[in-house]
């Protein structure tokens, strides 16, 4: 069976990463092997710092920094994230948070994501900002995918739906 691709989308700062972290917790509790990467933002004044977290190992490294619209990317951070994504090839669920402007332009960890989505028998959840879904699908050369729009504070309802409709599992933890 081909991989099933799901774009998780919502506007900037609407809780996509919080939603993904909750989804990871539920999938792991259900013993669904989950890998990939998610990034967490920290604010310090006008500066935004992002850390990449490897879902399988739990390790994290600095990924990038943004100040006054200037992006400073960590080469070692993107290498770390790419490796975490590639490890997800051996998982039942792969999560990529986030496939952003760098990736839709072919940079960042776009190459790693392209390799993971070409596998078989897994669910791939890709976080994409609202407005970048079509560009992400084109970059990844996807003809078939589903879009899941996350509303703020809709985590429980959506994750319950994921478990029922995507994995045919009962959401017994709620």
Q: What is the pLDDT of residue 47?
A: 92
pLDDT of amino acid 2: 78
Backbone dihedral region of 144: left (phi > 0), alpha (psi from -120 to 50 degrees) or beta?
beta
CA separation for the pair 107, 171 (Å, rounded): 37
Please report the pLDDT score of residue 78 as a whole number. 96
Q: Is the pTM of this model over 0.85?
A: yes
Mean pLDDT by 10 residues, the chain (174 residues): 87 84 88 95 91 97 92 94 96 94 94 91 90 95 89 64 61 36
Q: What is the pLDDT of residue 1?
A: 64
Closest by CA to 6, choosing from 174, 155, 150, is 150
Domain annotation for the chain: domains and CATH numbers: 4-165 (3.40.50.300)
- The helix (run of H) or strand (run of E) holding residue 103 is helix 101-104
Angle, CA 36 vertex, CA 81 and CA 91 arms, to 5°? 140
Q: How far apart are CA 14 and CA 79, in angstroms?
A: 27
Give the pLDDT score at 172.
38
């Amino acid at each position: 069976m081909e991989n099933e691709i799901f774009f998780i989308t919502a506007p900037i700062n609407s809780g996509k990463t919080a939603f993904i972290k909750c989804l990871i917790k539920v999938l792991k509790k259900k013993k669904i092997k989950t890998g990939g990467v998610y990034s967490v933002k920290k604010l310090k004044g006008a500066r935004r710092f992002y850390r990449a977290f490897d879902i399988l190992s739990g390790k994290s490294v600095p990924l990038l920094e943004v100040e006054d619209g200037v992006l400073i990317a960590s080469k070692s951070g993107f290498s770390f994230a790419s490796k975490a994504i590639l490890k997800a090839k051996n998982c039942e669920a792969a999560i990529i948070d986030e496939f952003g402007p760098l990736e839709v332009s072919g940079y960042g960890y776009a190459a790693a994501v392209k390799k993971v989505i070409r596998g078989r028998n897994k669910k791939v959840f890709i976080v994409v900002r609202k407005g970048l879904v079509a560009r992400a699908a084109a970059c990844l050369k996807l003809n078939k995918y589903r879009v899941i729009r996350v509303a703020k504070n809709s985590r429980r309802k959506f994750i319950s739906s994921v478990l029922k409709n995507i994995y045919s599992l009962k959401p017994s933890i709620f």
